Chain A
């Protein structure tokens, strides 16, 4: 009896409070959106003399927060602009950004350092169209030695939404000690060396593979983690997403993950693990290197295909490292995945013009060159600063780094994770659905129809 009454009162109270909220919420919700667009323009127009503060939101790790050291110099050159660096760790990057925006405290400048990529930000209408600012400013990418094809990545239907700032490429790292021990010649760094193919890589990997019951003695020839899982068919020349994806903001009208061509490419890749046994399973890699670790760094893998960010830690590897070209896999045009990190101006920015000044400063030749050391090896987009980058890595021949970079740009395609909408969901889904293939519980043929169905659902959201 008593309990019933309590529940009833509770229910009543809930109902009442719901009404209150519904009545109140009309104003709270609408306001934050109202603040966003119009104010930004109004402020930026007349703010030539008075001092403004802009916020750059970035990831809290030393390869990103080094920009704090650039701020005094920038402020000295632009006495009317103050720059505040706001930061969050990777795991909280997206949630904090979204909360800041929802709370009406939107930062001015940021990049996609969380799980979401450009396409997500673009489709959620978070990014400012920079065309007007660029026109007023007279900004030309060529003045900053930024190649046009890099500018194109964040340009949609002739509107610029992001200025590239760092360019990572996909390259091959190899363990010289393991090559020497197996008496195998080092792979070439020249992309034009046509003898360097996927099949040859498998042959050489076999010579270095040694599987033993003792995990400490086990070693594998190659770890072929080329880009994220959904992009891998592209390596063999098969495109799982329809062409319109790249022109309309990352929303594919069609996907072909259950087509025989795509399935064949996945089989080829899983053969490395299951048939040829020259590559480690995910489980083995994680056992050896920890959850996010790369088994290559422990010295138990001969070759790995990975982002050029791995170069930054190469000094600490307990073995000699070399860089090589990604072998040819049957796609004449694309062999390397590019990860070009841009800087965006958010729509909520109240001072987009000043924000743009800061972005220009960050991509200028002098600052890009300085940033290589400050960040501990971030690759510049400014091609003039690139020479300094090639020389940055102790123990690795600058000539090799240069060749690998130039080849990667020539045979490169921007990573899907920056270009396709709802990407973090797609990626999560791929990791989970493909797991049983890795362990041999399911075949590629069994899994791909489910994946195709789920990708379609996710893209529609």
Chain B
């Protein structure tokens, strides 16, 4: 048992001192944050600045910090060089469906692993983890054979359908979160006669807002930036995704890559992710409120 100091004259200087110390720490950490943020935002600066340079200026050494003349027309040129709009749409369709599929299926499976102690659950769990331990190049060929037997080559299906059957990474992640939810909540739910599926929907999901938002972001970024799978499975140009289109810029060993256009594409490609992140940010705040009430 600790004694809680009641308002006594001797207590006030000590709290005062303490508050000042916290302030010092806060200021120090604030400065640290500002410095790190600067480093983290360098790529943005670099991308935007490069995207506005002319082709000739790209070859300058030492490189210029800001463009000598601002080539806004680069942002028009990208639509003329690549089938940019179409690629953007393709990536958006694939990305959105992947997020929906991943969220639903991973949340279900993770709940199964986290809340029930069934026969063989450990075995399946380890098996699931092990699917992440085989490097992609090792399964590329047999996977291609499989999808080609299903007649899925040159369709979006190999890029979307697997997401609807859960991704090991996200299942593991959500399982960790579901495991931290207190038993009492579910016991109470069971008393009220909730079905298991309903408890998943009404108790587990609402309480895991931040985790679900994280999964949504991760799944989207993964799909959005994925290059290897679309390169392998898509053959018609009108089905290409953004990363595939962008990689064609640096493909030629015989030409100087149009870095400026590549950066234009990179800047534009970031917009959906930033938007998604901004939305998810709000989820984080809500997450606090919800857990606060419980």
Contact = CB atoms under 8 A, between A and B. Distances in A.
Interface of A: 2, 6, 9-10, 13, 28, 32, 59-65, 68, 84, 86-92, 95-96, 98-100, 102-105, 168, 215-216, 288-289, 292-293, 297-300, 307, 309-310, 312-313, 316-318, 376
22 contacts: A9-B120, A13-B123, A60-B244, A61-B252, A63-B255, A65-B248, A68-B237, A87-B237, A99-B141, A99-B144, A99-B232, A103-B141, A103-B145, A216-B62, A288-B61, A289-B61, A298-B61, A299-B59, A309-B253, A316-B55, A318-B59, A318-B60
Nearest to B256: A313
A89 B245 CA distance: 9
Most buried by A among B227, B232, B256: B256
Interface of B: 55-56, 59-62, 120, 122-123, 126-127, 137, 140-141, 144-145, 148, 153, 227-228, 231-232, 235, 237, 244, 247-256
A288 B59 CA distance: 9
Given A89-B244, A99-B144, A316-B56, A59 B61 contact: no
Given A86-B235, A298-B61, A316-B59, A102 B144 contact: yes
B59 A105 contact: no
A61 B250 CA distance: 8
A216 B123 CA distance: 61
Contacts of A104: 145, 148
A168 B255 CA distance: 13
A102 B252 contact: no
A62 B248 contact: yes
A94 to B, nearest CB: 12
State the main secondary structure of chain B at its contact with A: helix
A68 B236 CA distance: 11
Contact of A10 (B126, B249, B255, B256): B126
B255 A313 contact: yes
Contacts of B62: 215-216
Contact of A6 (B122, B148, B235): B122
Given A298-B59, A298-B61, A309-B254, A88 B231 contact: yes
A63 B61 contact: no
A102 B141 CA distance: 7
Contact of A89 (B137, B148, B250): B250
Nearest to A59: B251
A216 B61 contact: yes
Contact of B253 (A68, A90, A105): A90
Contact of A103 (B127, B148, B227): B148
A250 to B, nearest CB: 21
A68 B253 CA distance: 20
Nearest to A293: B256
A312 B254 contact: yes
Contacts of B126: 6, 10
A65 B55 CA distance: 21
Contact of B252 (A64, A84, A215): A64
A312 B122 CA distance: 60
A376 to B, nearest CB: 8
B61 A300 contact: yes
Contacts of B254: 63, 168, 307, 309-310, 312
Given A28-B145, A297-B256, A317 B61 contact: no
A96 B56 contact: no
Nearest to A339: B254
A424 B244 CA distance: 24
Contacts of A168: 254
A32 B144 CA distance: 13
B145 A95 contact: no
A427 to B, nearest CB: 13
A220 to B, nearest CB: 13
Given A13-B123, A92-B247, A313-B256, 18 more contacts: A6-B126, A10-B127, A32-B145, A62-B252, A63-B254, A89-B248, A99-B232, A100-B144, A103-B145, A104-B148, A168-B254, A293-B256, A298-B60, A307-B254, A313-B255, A316-B56, A317-B59, A376-B255
A312 B252 CA distance: 12
A103 B153 CA distance: 11
A96 B120 CA distance: 38
Contacts of A10: 123, 126-127
